Amino acid sequence: MEWTVIGKMQETPGVVTIRFKPSKKVSFRPGQYFIFYDMVDYLEDCRAYSASSSPSHDYVDITVKLVQNPHFSKHLQNLPVGYAIEVRGPHGSFCFDDSAKDVVLIGAGSGIAPLRSILQYTAEKESGANVTLIYSAKTKEQVIFLKELQEISDAGKVKLFITLTQEQGEFTGRIDSSLINKAVPDKADKMFFICGPPLMAQQTQKILRELGASEGQIKSEEF
């Protein structure tokens, strides 16, 4: 299916949200990803990107971070408004289930993308889900969606724990067992969604298991 770029927002240095209008309605679960196909430097290529907006909209956002020596990420960030690109999906089982009542989202860096889709969805649905977000970024300037997260928090729809790894903040340092215990004292009946770089995702899963969460309570996505 073709998706057309209808807007772009610079979120933080190196991170851009691209808003697309699909040629026809796409159904997906919050947290799922799509595969984007295009010619880059005269060769057909593709990469996966999670939807960062709620499925309720008639547009789909993706939030793209420039990696070191970027290839497809740079290509996507440079797409002009009006450009149409081939997209397939949705894919993935990293997605919110409407029956979940206590949800803990744990993310680092651009891993916030699918978590924001879940958060927008639970906030607008008045689903009654209790949502906690534990999010780590290097500096305050690099906290993606900071204003939006604070607004959702002020509306009482998420408990927010933002930790900075390279600056002093309300919380400082990587996501560890002490921060998780503070944010989520009782792990029973919670559904945990982890998204971030492979090492962060694996270490967080290990911590959750040590704190008593079962395999069935944990969903994880690495990128």
Residue 177: phi, psi to the nearest 5? Answer: -65, -30
Backbone angles phi, psi at 91, to 5 degrees: -135, 160
CB of 90 to ligand FAD, least distance (A): 11
Among 42, 43, 44, 68, binds ligand FAD (CB under 6 A): 68
Compare residues 73 and 122 and give the one whose CB is closer to ligand FAD: 73
Q: Is 5 in the site for ligand FAD (CB under 6 A)?
A: no
Interface stretch with ligand FAD, choices 60-68, 131-139, 169-177, 178-186 (CB under 6 A): 60-68
Q: Is 60 in the site for ligand FAD (CB under 6 A)?
A: no
Instruction: Among 3, 96, 135, 223, indicate the residue that binds ligand FAD (CB under 6 A).
Output: 223
CA distances from 220 to 102, 140, 207 (A): 16, 25, 13
Q: How big, in percent rounded to 5, are the helix, strand and coil portions of the chain?
A: 25, 40, 35
Among 17, 63, 117, 163, binds ligand FAD (CB under 6 A): 63
Assign 31 to helix, strand or coil. coil
Q: Say how far apart CA 218 and CA 223 lie, in whole Å.
A: 17
Cβ closest to ligand FAD, residue 51 vs residue 179: 51
Does residue 49 touch ligand FAD according to CB under 6 A?
A: yes
Whole-number minimum distance, CB 101 to ligand FAD, in Å? 26
Answer yes or no whether residue 118 interacts with ligand FAD by CB under 6 A: no
What's the CA gap between 14 and 7, in Å, rounded? 17
Asked if 175 and 108 count as a contact pair (C-beta separation under 8 A), the reply is yes
Number of residues near ligand FAD (by CB under 6 A): 20
Least Å distance, CB 50 to ligand FAD, is: 4
- Using the CB atoms, write b or e for 96-109: b if 16+ within 10 Å: beeebebbbbbbbb
CB 103 within 8 A of CB 132: yes
Decide if residue 47 touches ligand FAD (CB under 6 A).
yes
Q: Does 108 bind ligand FAD (CB under 6 A)?
A: no
Distance CA 82, CA 32 (A): 24
Site string for ligand FAD, 159-178 (x = CB under 6 A): --------------------
DSSP state of 57: S
Q: Residue numbers of the site for ligand FAD (CB under 6 A)?
A: 33, 47-50, 62-65, 67-73, 110, 113, 221, 223
